[in-house]
Amino acid sequence: MRWKTAEFAGWGRALSARSDVARPERRRTLDEILADGLVPAMGMRRSYGDAALNAGGRAVDMTRLDRLIAFDPATGELEAEAGVQVGQLAAIFAPRGWLPPVMPGTGFATLGGCIAQDVHGKNHHHAGSFCQHVTAIRLRTAAGVVEVTPEGTPDLFRATAGGLGQTGVILSATLRLMPAKGDVMIVTERRIDDWDEHIAMLDASRATYTVGWIDATATGAALGRGILEEGETGSGLVPKRANSRKVPFDAPRFALSAPVVRAFNQLYWRRVPESGRTVVKPIGDFFFPLDKIHDWNRLYGKAGFHQFQCVVPLAAAADLRAMLEAIAGSGLASPLAVLKRMGPGRAGYLSFPMEGYTLAVDFPNRAGARELIARLIERTRGAGGRVYFAKDSLARAADVPAMYPELDAWQAVAAKADPDRALCTDIVRRLKLRGAA
């Protein structure tokens, strides 16, 4: 039987949907499925909210379509099917001196998903967004299969990059890999005392990869304290990677209570000496630190969690500090909080990045957290920033036009590529991204 009905959830587990899903193993089977009309595609469902969900409808699971098609070792240009995972690419090509040019926080993200969200990584300040390194996309639109390139079909490319799968089903793509010095990461860790120092260190960093863990429970003079990590690829003895672990059950509510999180964050901050340190890590441990804890989302309990991730312009750093003050004062934040500086690079009409600072914080799915996130979204919009569709589960349709001023241009291209709106998903309907039905 080709279609199976099942319940699916975003990675945050706060939003779920029941739908019919097909999981083809060959391109021929996919063609047969799409012969009756377009169907939304999904990968590993690592988007936190409802970006990959289609309640009451159908979806195609692309994860078995994960073949490497061609690779040029002289240029690093790789063609692969949409279902291949970015962590698999890192594991295969890092020993050969190449890495995916941009990697999100999980290696389970698929090539198609990285394009649909135009993801960013710890090197955005240098490398820009994922789709800026994509040279071609094979896309199944309502009119058939088309080759989408930045030069040949610029409007369709910009609508597909970060376009949430609304222009067609991504079949494969060609990506320029980035040269790497080796298959390990040399990481310098520094303890940061407060907000001003954190921002100054991010501004001053010239490392290829830079990320700040931020203690979202610290208040007063310690507001914004954290750990700055700066990384470079290297070669040499590969340290033994920690064994993978699995969270076997949904954690009880007290596991992420405010006293527990504050105590954990205090210990985590102090794990780095005051003088700092340099360590060697496997590639995966630096880029995908949580992937070795399978089902870590269960730590938030059965109700799941929400992540708030915004980016604001450089000039709005004070607004971001005020948001952090509200988060720290709420006692609702989890230990997972990240601060990065972003460059201007973005490839699509709906791509998230802008030059500025991005803050990401996880919250258990509780009424107080949902109310706080609503206020944070409003503050983000007022500061001229935007929220990240890959993480969002609570924004409203009214929030989007001011955050994404190229929405009208994207809507026009999406309407041409999918005139019947067959590709609409839950996030598209929730945020009315394609306008009124």
Which tens digit of pLDDT belongs to each residue from 64-87?
999 999 999 999 999 999 999 999
Backbone angles phi, psi at 30, to 5 degrees: -60, -45
Is 405 inside any structural domain? no
pTM as predicted: 0.97
If one counts every other C-beta atom within 10 angstroms of the C-beta of residue 94, the result is 23
In order along its 437 residues, the chain shows pLDDT tens digits of 589 999 999 999 999 999 999 999 999 999 999 998 999 999 999 999 999 999 999 999 999 999 999 999 999 999 999 999 999 999 999 999 999 999 999 999 999 999 999 999 999 999 999 999 999 999 999 999 999 999 999 999 999 999 999 999 999 999 999 999 988 999 999 999 999 999 999 999 999 999 999 999 999 999 999 999 999 999 876 666 667 788 887 888 878 899 999 999 999 999 999 999 999 999 999 999 999 999 999 999 999 999 999 999 999 999 999 999 999 999 999 999 999 999 999 999 999 999 999 999 999 999 999 999 999 999 999 999 999 999 999 999 999 999 999 999 999 999 999 999 999 999 999 999 999 76
DSSP assignment letter at 251? P
Query: What is the enclosing helix (H) or strand (E) of 199?
Result: helix 195-204
Is 404 inside any structural domain? no
Q: How far is CA 35 from the centre of its chain?
A: 31
CA atoms within 13 A on the CB side of 32: 10
3-class SS string, 286-297:
HHCCCCCEECHH
Q: Number of structural domains, the chain?
A: 1
Q: Is 254 left (phi over 0), alpha (psi -120 to 50) or beta?
A: alpha
Is 82 inside any structural domain? no
Is 48 inside any structural domain? no
- Cα 125 to Cα 343: distance, rounded to the nearest angstrom: 4
Which runs of E-coded beta strand occur in 283-355? 293-294, 305-313, 337-342
Is 150 inside any structural domain? no
Is 321 inside any structural domain? yes
3-state secondary structure of 229: strand
- Cα 312 to Cα 320: distance, rounded to the nearest angstrom: 7
Buried b (16+ CB within 10 A) or exposed e, 27-63: eebbeebbeeebbbbbbbbbbbbbbbbbeebbbbbbb
Report the DSSP beta bridge partners of residue 363: 306
Report the candidate in 290, 394, 377 with the shortest Cα–Cα distance to residue 327: 377
- Cα 379 to Cα 385: distance, rounded to the nearest angstrom: 9
Is 189 inside any structural domain? yes
Structure tokens at 306: 């929400």
Range of the domain at 229: 184-396
Classify residue 298 as exposed, middle or buried by CB count within 10 Å of its CB (0-12, 13-18, 19+): middle
The domain spanning residue 315 has which CATH number? 3.40.462.10
For residues 214 and 199, the answer to whether their CB atoms sit within 8 Å is no
Which tens digit of pLDDT belongs to each residue from 273-295?
999 999 999 999 999 999 999 99
Is 194 inside any structural domain? yes
For residues 85 and 44, the answer to whether their CB atoms sit within 8 Å is yes
For residues 49 and 6, the answer to whether their CB atoms sit within 8 Å is no
Give the list of residues 6+ apart from residue 39 with CB closer than 8 angstroms, or none.
22, 33, 57, 58, 59, 60, 169, 422, 423
Report the DSSP beta bridge partners of residue 175: 78, 134
If one counts every other C-beta atom within 10 angstroms of the C-beta of residue 314, the result is 13
